Each structure stands twice: as C-alpha cells, then as structure tokens.
Amino acid sequence: MKLLLRNHTSTLLLALALAGLALPPAAVHAQQSAKAAKAAKAKKARKAKTPPPPKKPAVDYEGEFVNFGQWKEVKQFLDDMAAKHGFDRLELETLMGKVRYVDSAVQLMKPAPPGKPKNWQAYSKLFIEPVRINGGVRFWDANRDALARAEALYGVPAETIVGIIGVETVYGANTGRFRVLDALTTLAFAYPLAPQRTARMEFFKGELESTLLYARQSGIDPFSMLGSYAGAVGLPQFMPSNIVKYAVDFDGDGRVDLRNSPSDAIGSVAAFLVAHGWNRDDPGPIVYAATVSPSRQWERYLNQGLEAKFRQEDLMADGVVTTSSLPAGMPFGLVDLQNGSEPTEFWLGTNNFFAITQYNRSFFYAMSVVELGRAVKLTRQQM
C-alpha cells in the first residue's frame, strides 16, 4: 500500500512539473528532504572511501641507530658525567643506547659554499614582514601583562622581547621537532669536518651535559625535550646551558617551560639580556643611524668585538656622523650592515644593541630584532 502511494505521489509531482504548475509546499518539502538525504548518503560514502590523513611523525627526521654507547669518546663522556655529577653510569649507558644519529643536523652544520656577498636588505625582508609583524601584535596583546611585568622588573622594553621571540620562532610557530638528546649527541661526537670542528664539538658536549643536568633537575625524560637541529629549545630557542643559567619560572607554576609557557619565555629572554649587559638606564634608541666620511679613518672601529667601547668624540673626529644628537658620555660601537653591491648602512650601537648580539653573534640578527620590534609596536599603536 505504501509503495502504491509513493508511486502515485511521484507520478503526480512529475505531471505538475510537466504542466509548468507550482508544486504544493508539502511536495516541495518532500522533494528537498529526498535530495538532502541522497546528498548526505553520498557524502558519507565518499568519506568512508577517503583514507585518514597520515599521522604527523613525532620528530622531523629519521634517526639512525649507531650505538653511540660503544664509541670511545662517548664512553669517556659518560665516565665524566658519573664522576663529576653523580649520575648512575649504567643508567647513562642505557640512555645512550636509545639515542639516534641525526644526519640532517650534520648536513645543516656543514659550511655553506661561497655565495653572494652579505645583503642586509635581503636578510631583513625575511623577518620584518607581515606574518611576523601581525603575529607580534597578537602575541603582545595576548601577553601584555607578562611583557609589562618583565619591562618593570628587568628594564627590557616589550618590543625588544617581542622582536627576539618573533625572529627566533615566529612566536612559537617554529620551535623545532628534533629530540634534543639526539641532535646534541650527534653534533658532540660526529660534527662534520669544518673550521673550528674541535671547538664546536666541545661546545655541543657542554650542551649535552646541560641537557642531562636539566632533565634530572626538572624530573623529566630527557627524550621529551624537543627543539631545533642544533638543540635550541622553546619559543626563545634557548640552548640547554642557557636554560640552566638564565631561564625563569615567570608564570609562577613551579617549573620552567619555554616550549608551552609564553610567560616563562618572556621572563627568560629579559633575564638573559640583563645578564649580558642590558642597561635599563640607557636613554633613547638602541641604535642611531650614521654616515661615514670618504676619509675612511672610521674603518679602525670596525670588527672590534661585540661591545660599545668608543667615545663619541673619537668617532666624530674620524668621520662618523649621526643625524640625531647622542646621549652625552655614552660609548658606542660602529655597526656596518653590508648590502651586496649597494652602499653599506652604518649605525652606532649602544650597550643594549650589543647585549642582543650575545643572543646571536650577528649584526644582522640584532638589527632584525630591533626593526621587527619597532614595526610591531608601531602597528599595534595604529590599530
């Protein structure tokens, strides 16, 4: 009986449609419901046939097992850790048996082939750009209280902290997904052939030591620490030794978490800068634009270390000129930002500029932090 009624209804709807007559509301509703049910059924079928997206791997590399625990240099390192810090030697050997060799870290540490001359304008475009500027505004708004507290406690302006975290990880978007223990062990004992290879291996051995100490102190599995291919951790990309020395529990939860706590990252960046010479009493900008005379007497101020140590009077006498007045009695360093075939930019850097270079020993890096911080602050003020 139901089948006859359904067929009758279908015949009636077809006749009305052929006659050009409007369908009654009930018929329209029935027709729409039938179409919706059919579409839902088709969607469900397609979904059933579509395989789920592949699961994202826990780390960004394929680690190779090479049994680091059998290497002579590694055995000596483990002996030293047991004797110096009281680690259980057998536990360390078991831990090292789980470490993987990271070839991508080795490849990334190889010296770059000779290329184009340094170009500040090209470099700066990678960092002073809309994604980082807009992300900086959001980060500042979301963490305004922690930034204000860090500025009050340490004397480091919010824009400088925002600039560093923006340059380092785009406010936590790119913190790295390498197991720190894998990366540091690889670089400590299998660093590629390169200038200063021995010194670099000693540096990474020190970072590996700090990783094990920090993990024990914090009560965490050292394999749970994720970071960059060079072992840097969290929003501010602190090396493990810097976590031990300078990181602070700025959110007051009883632990330092640079990967998941923006507050801890903010306080730790400020603490690091103060420990490396940041002076809250320095007035005015961090850098001052300058020009130089054709005499080239000013060249003796270049490549003189990462510190502000020259008197204004001497700089001016040798042909360095600024477009704005300088604070009386403050020392400066001459900063040259090369632009390839274009003219070099010159600036006078303060103590606070050179404190930023202790985070990354590069004028390009420090200037990117300054310019990104300025851009974020200006954009935020205009909103």
Could you confirm whether 168 is annotated as catalytic?
yes
Burial 126-153 (b: 16+ CB within 10 A, else e): ebbeeebbebbbebbeebeebbebbbee
| Residue 203: exposure state from Cβ atoms within 10 A (0-12, 13-18, ≥19) | middle
End-to-end CA distance of the chain: 69
DSSP run (H or E) holding 49: helix 25-49
User: What angle do helix axes 180-189 and 72-85 make, rounded to 10 degrees?
Assistant: 120
**Other CB atoms closer than 10 Å to residue 78's CB: what's the count?**
21
> Can you point out the beta strands (E) in 133-199?
178-179
Give DSSP secondary structure letters for 284-325: S-SEEEEEE-TT-GGGGGTTS-SS--B-HHHHHHTTEEESS-
* Residue of 64, 73, 129, 168 marked catalytic: 168
Question: Do 182 and 226 touch, CB atoms closer than 8 A?
Answer: no
Compute CA distances 6 → 23, 40, 207, 291, whole Å: 16, 21, 78, 89
Catalytic residue positions, numbered: 168
